[in-house]
Amino acid sequence: MPLNDEARTKALSYSESQLAMIERQCQGWPAFYMVQGPFGLKIWSDTDPVKGGVISWTIGGWEDRAPLTIWMDGRPHPSQYAEHTRAGFTTGNWEGNTLVAYTTHMKAGFLRKTGPPSSDQSTMTARFYRHGDILTVLAVIEDPIYLSEPWILSKSYQLSATPLSPIGPPCVTAFEGGGESVPHYLPEKNPFVDEMTQKYGVPRPAALGFPETLYPEYRKRIAVPK
């Protein structure tokens, strides 16, 4: 992942125990969790009852992901001072047979469940390609606060006749015995920093999200410990 130094430091302070706090149990994920989470996509359109054109496409939500509405009627993105939500604000247009969607106004959150952060200035450009029964979603996430260059994700879905709810089960909070402070790790105290090195022999610099590790040429610069 192309994390900058600030993002790397914040990620290494993250403790999964934070999710036991009542106020964090239902905090949800930003829109780009759509191409990461363990769920399918239910997609439907809303049409203009007079002209018959598509006003928007909606991608149903899940327990920790809000529904994503892609506005197709040409409306502009709101002011930078407008409310930021988990789903953000998305507009779309067609480029040939490809639906291109641009999302802004997402709340700060996480890029992955291991703690890499995303800021409320992050944006996502998603492209939806359909080839027969296969839908491929390519998402490009940009974040001027925590990413040193764009982060690219992709995922493919196969059409299924299995009924899928447009929204997941409700998130219900419960006291899990945590304290009042936010669990975290102090600098240089994260016990999992060498997990990839110990299990798979991946050198620490290659596992900590430096931008240069994204490229094939980086393999020539690392020496796998024996």
pLDDT digits (tens, 9 = 90+) for 147-167: 999 999 999 999 998 888 888
Predicted TM-score (pTM) of the model is 0.87
* pLDDT tens, residue by residue, 81-109: 999 999 999 999 999 999 999 999 999 99
pLDDT for 103 equals 97
Closest C-alpha to 34, from 177, 200, 168: 168
Interacting residues of 68 by C-beta distance below 8 A, sequence separation 6+? 31, 34, 58, 59, 61, 87, 88, 90, 103
Distance CA 104, CA 164 (A): 27
Contact of 43 with 57, CB cutoff 8 Å:
yes
pLDDT band at 179 (very low <50, low <70, confident <90, very high): low
